[in-house]
Structure 1
Amino acid sequence: MALPLRSSIYFTAVFLMAILAGLLTLGIRQYQLLKNYETVISQSEKMIFHFSIIREEITDSLLEGRFSNLSGINKEFEDINTKLSQILANKHVPDEYKLSFINQEVDLPGIIIQFRGIDKERIDTNKLRMLNREVRVLGDRLMMFDRVIVNHAKRKLIGFQNIVIGALAIVLFILVNVLVVFHRQVAVPLLFLGRQVKEVAQGIRASISLGKKSGEVSELAESFSNLLISKDQSSEGLAKHNRTHLAVESVAYSIVHAKSKENLFQDICKSLLVNDDYYLAWIGLPDMEHKKIRPVAVNGTNTMSSRECEEYMDILLNSAEERGGIYNSAMQALLKGEPVIQSDVLSGVPKGLRKNIPFEGSNLSCASFPLIWNKVIYGVLCIYATSRDCFEDTEMDLLTVMTTELGLAIYNYDVLAQLRQKKVLNKQIVSAVKAVLISISSSGKILSLNSEAEKIIGRKEQEIVGGSFLDFFVPLGEDPQTYKDKGIEALNSYMLDDIREMVVPQKDGSQRILRCQLTNCLVQQDDEQEVLCIGQDVTEQKRAVEDLSRNLDAERGRKIETFRASHLAALGELTTGVAHVINNSSNGIINYAQVLEDEAKDSAWSQGQIELLEKIIKEGERVADIVQKLLSYGREMEGLKETVKIGDVVSDANMLVKEHFKNDGIITTLHSMEGLPPVTVNVAKMRQVFIHLLNNARRALNLKYKGKDDNKRLEIKGEMAAKNGKNLMRISLTDWGVGIDPGNMSKIFDPSFSTKPPDETAGMGLAISKDLVEDHGGFLHVESELGDHTTVAIELPVN
C-alpha cells in the first residue's frame, strides 16, 4: 500500500536527515580520532627527536673523552622519562602496546641513576660501554614503540574511514532510489500533467486525465480538470449574461432615442437580437374584447427577411391558438400579469410547416413578458431562443426590469400624445379667443409664440424667438432698467398662476399693455422646464377705462367747480355787503379822526396825542384799502383784460395773505419786478392764481415747520425768458417746504387729486391755476424735490 505523497515526502525527508546526522556524527568522530592520534604521534616524535639529540651528545662525549658532560645528561633523561610517562598515560594508546613496551628490557630510571653515578676521577670503561649499549637499546625500543603507535593510528583511521565511505555509499544508494521513486510517482505525472495543461490552453485537448494513475497527482489532475470545467461553465455563463446585458443596454438606448412609439417597438425587437441566443422577437398589443393579441413589430435573425419573420410568427401564433390557451404564452402573460416561459414551442407545429422554420429540430423556448406600468398592461413582448439553459433566473430578472422600463416608455409616449392633443386644442382655443400665447424656458428665453403675440410686440417671430422675455415685457409700474438688471430672478420672483399686467414697448416709443398669466407646462424642452405665458392685449380696454376715469374726474371737477363758483358767488355777495358796511364805517372813523386831528392842532394837545390820531387815520385808510381790494376780488372775473405791471398783481395777492404768513412765521422774500414789462391779463383771475399758489406754499411750509424757523421761507421773483422764439415773463414762487412725492407729480393737475386729509376741504388750486394761466396763453410748470423745495413757475407772453 503506497503512502500518500505528503507522508512519503515527510518520511523521506526525516530518513535523509537521520542518515545525514549519522554521517555528520561519523565525520566528527573521525576528526576527533585524527586530532588525538596526531597529538600522540607528535609527542612520540618529539620524545624520539629529543632522545636522538641526547644520544648523539653521549656518543660524542664518549668518543672525545669528555666524560664530565655525561653527568649533566641525567636531567635530559628525566625529561624524556616524563614525556614517555605522558605517552603511556594517553588513553588512545592501546594497553597491550603499553604492556609490551614496559615488559621489554628497558630500564630508563636505571640509566638515569647510572649517569648520576659516573665519577669524574675514576672512569670505569666497562660501565661506560654497558651504559652506551643500554642507551642504544633504549633508542631502538623507543623507535619501535613510535612505529607501533603510528601504525596503530593508521589502522584506526583507515578503518573508520572505510566505515564512513560505506555509510556514504549506502546513503547515496538510498537517495538514488528515493529520487527514482519520486521521479516515477511525482515528476513524470507532473510533467505529463503540465503537457496536458499546455495542450488544453492551446485548444488541442478538452480535458485533463492521468489515466490509471492514482494518488495526489491524480487528484490534482482531477482538480485541474474540474477547474477547467467550472471555468468553461463560468465563461459560458458570463458570456451568456454579457449577451443578455448587451441586449438590455441596446434596448435602453432604443427607448431613449426612439422618435415614436411605432419606431420604439421595431427598435426593441431589433435590439434584442443583439443576443445571439435569441432567434425571434415580437411585440403585440392586447385586444381584450376579442381576447387576441395584435402583433405590431417583429424581427428575427440576420438570415430571415421581414416577410419570413412575419410568416414564422404567424405559424407559431396559430399553432399556439390551435393547441389551446395554456400553450399561448403571450396571452397567459397578459392574463397573469407576469412573465411566462414555454418550452418546446415547436412540438405543436405540424411537421410540414416545420420545414420552413430555420430553427426546426431545435428545442425552441419562448419567454413572454407583459409590458406593465402602474398596473396597466400596454402590450406583451415575446422572445424565442434555442439555448438549453436559456431564460434562467438572472436572465429573467434582467429582462423583467427591461420590460418594466419599456412599459414606462409606452406610458410616457401615451402621455405625450395626450399632451400634444391638448396643446393643439389649447392653441385652437387661444387662437379662437385671440389670446397671446408665448412659450418661455426656465432661463427666460422665448421659445415660441403665436400671431397675436407678434401683433402686441410689433415684431416678427424670427426677431423674437431666442431673445429674453425681459427685453420685451416689463411689469406695469416697475422701472425697466431695474427690472432687466435683476435678470431671471425678476421673472422668477413672480408667482406662477398670478395674473399680471406687462408693459410692451413698441418700436415707435408707444406702449401696449398685456394682461397675462404664467403657468408651468408639463413638457420639457432641452432639459429645461417650459413656462407658458397666456394673456390678452388690454391696451384699448385700459385706454377706455382711463378715458372714462378722466371723464368722470372731469365731470366731478366741473361739479365741484360749479359748486365752488356758486359758493364763491354767494360768499362774494355777502362779502360785498359786509365790505360796504366796513368801508362806510372806516370812512366815518377816518372823518371823525380827521376832525379831532384838526382840533388838536388848534388846541393845546400833546404831540403824543396827535400821533395817536394820525395812526388811527392811517390804519383806517389801510382798512379801507383792503376792503376796496376785497371788493375788487369779489366782483365778477369775466371782465376785460388790462395791461398792468405783474408786480402789482403779485403785491395785491400777497397783501391779502400777508397776515396769515406773519402769524405762521413765514419769511416772504419778494424781489423787485420794476424792470419787467407790462402784461395784458385779467387782473382778478391772475390775482386768484397767485393766491392759490401762495396758499399751497403756506401749507407746505407749515407741514415741514410747525413753528417759526429761519428756513421757513418763500421766495418770489420775476425774470424774462425765451421759448420757441417768443419772449416770456416768468414769475417763480419757491418754498422750502415738504416738497412733492415723485409718484404724485403726474397727478397734481388732476382736479380730483388732493394730498389733504379727509377732514380738510379738498382744493383744486393747481388745476384751476393751470387753466387760468393757459387762458392767458401762458404756461404753468412745477418742479419739486421731496423734503427740500417746490418751485412753481408761471410764464406769460409779454406785449
Structure 2
Amino acid sequence: MVRASRIGEKLKEREIVATYIDITESKRMEIIQKLLYQIATSVHATKSMGELSRIIQLELGKILDTTNFFIALYNKEEDTISLPYFLDEKDHFETFPAGKTFTAYVIKSGKPLLAKKEQIKQLIQSGEVEVVGTISKVWLGVPLIVEEKIIGVIVVQSYTDENAFNEKDLELLKFLSSQIGLSIEHKLSDEKVQESEENYHLLVESVNDGIVISQKDKFIFFNKRFADMLGYTYDELFMKAYSEVYTEKGIEILMERKRRRERGEYVPSRYETVFKKKDGTTIDVEANVTIIDYKGDKATFAVIRDITDHKWAEEEKKAMQVQLMQSQKLESIGTLASGVAHEINNPLTGIINYAQLIHNRVQDDSLKEFAGGIIEEGDRVAKIVRNLLSFSRQGKESHSPANIKDIIDATLSIIGSVLRKDQITLEEDIPEDLPQIRCRKQQIEQVIMNLLTNSRDALNHRYPDYDDDKILKITVLPIKMEGKRWIRTTVEDHGSGIPQDIIDRIFDPFFTTKTRDRGTGLGLSVSYGIIREHGGEFTVDSELGKYTRFHVDLPINN
C-alpha cells in the first residue's frame, strides 16, 4: 500500500512524499492473534484431543501448508509416540515406538528441526534418524514444551515441494508452540478429569450396593441403586430427610449409636438396620458408614447393602436346622427303640405282677409291701419316660446354668441299656466339682447322644461280639485355652477310626460313611452347629483302625 501527500505552498516548492506500508505482515500478525485466541477458547469448547488438534490444523492452515500435519504426544515411560491427530497424503499412524524417528530426534534434542531433502538424507545415512513411513522432501517439527517439559511435537511436511517451509515458518511455529502446548496440556488434563469422572460414575452406578451421602439429616447424593432399593425416583429421594426412610426400629438403632458415640464408646462403622420403602414395605440392610468432609461441612458417606434375602435365608436356615435337629432326635430314638422298650417292659411287668398279687391277697401288710414295689417300679418307668420325652421334645429352650455331668447322666439313662446290650464297656472319668456352664441343656444332650451313638456304631462294626477293647470312654475336665476357661468333654472309642482323606468332611451336611438305613449324615453337622452356636469348639482326632476322639469344648463363662 502506498500513501502520498504534498508539501510546500507554491507549485515549484511542492514535493510529493510517498510512504510504503507492508500490510502483508500486519495481516499475518492479525491472523496469528486470532489463531491463538481460537486455540485458547477451543480447549474447553471441544470434546476431545482429536477435535482440538483438528482446529489447530485448520487455523494453522491459514498461514501454513498443513496438508500433511500431525501432533505427536510423547510417553516417556513407554518411550512411545501417540498421534491424537494425523493428516497425511501417504501414511497413517496412531502410535509407534519413539526409536530414532524424526519426531524422537526433536524430542531428545529439545530443538526445532527444519530438514530439507539433503539434510534428511544425511540424518538417515549417519544413523541419527531411522525412517518410519514415507520420506518427505521437507520436514518441519517443533517441540511442544510446557513448564520445561517436552510433551510432544507439532509437525508439518511436504512430499512434493522442498521449499514448502522456510526459517520464517520455523520461527512462526516456535512462537505458536508454547500456546499450542499449553492448550494441549489443558485438554489432556480435562480428558483425564472427564475420564476420572466417567470411571467414578461408572463405578458408583455399576455396584450392586447403594451409595449415599447425607448431610444435615438429608440425602444430598446417592446412586441409582439406592433409589431403586427404596422404590423412589431421583427427584423424590433428593433432599429427603433420612428419618423418612427409617422404620421405628431403624431410628432406635440410629439413636442408640448416637448415644454411644456421645458417651465416648466405640461405635462400629458396619451395622444392620431396617429401611422403609416408598410402598411401605421394609427391607433389612447392612450399612457401612464413614464421616467425611463434604463441601466444608461434615457429612455421612454410606454403602448400603440389601440383606433382606440373606436374612430370610438365615431364618430359613435356622428353621431347617431346628427341623434337622428334630429329625435327628427321632432317628436316634428309633435306633434306641429296642433298648427303651426293654427298659419300659421290665417295670411294666413288675407293675402287672404286683398288681396281680395285690388282687389275690387282701392282708394289709402285704398290700403295703406290694404297693411299695409298685411305686418303686413306677418311679423307674417315669424317670425313663421323662428323660426320653425331654430329649425328643421340641421347644424354645433358653441358655441356663447346667452341670455337664448331669447332662451326660441324663443321656446315659436313655442309651446306657443299649450299650450294655451291645456288650460295650463304658468308662467315665468325670469330676464331681466341675464348674457350671450356660447352655441349652437339651441341645447339649443331643450332641452327647449323637457322639455316643456314633461310637456305639463304630465299636459294633469292629467288634460284633464282646471284646476287651470294646470300650467307650467319656472324659470331662476343665482346661484353659487362650486365657479362657473351658469344659472339655471327650468321647473316645477304639472302633474303626476315620480315614484321613475324609476327616475334614465329617462335619459337612449329609456326609456319612454309614449305609442309607443307618444314618443321614446330619448328626455331626447339626452337632457342630449347636456347639458353635454356644461359642464352643468341636474337634476330632482319629487314627484309622485304632481310635477316634471327639472333643467338645464349651466356655465356662458363656
Q: Structure 2 length normalisation: TM-score?
A: 0.37
Instruction: Kindly indicate which of the two structures has a greater share of residues assigned to strand.
Output: 2
Q: Which has the larger radius of gyration?
A: 1
Q: Structure 1 length normalisation: TM-score?
A: 0.26
Q: Which structure is richer in relative contact order (CA contacts within 8 A, separation 6 or more)?
A: 2
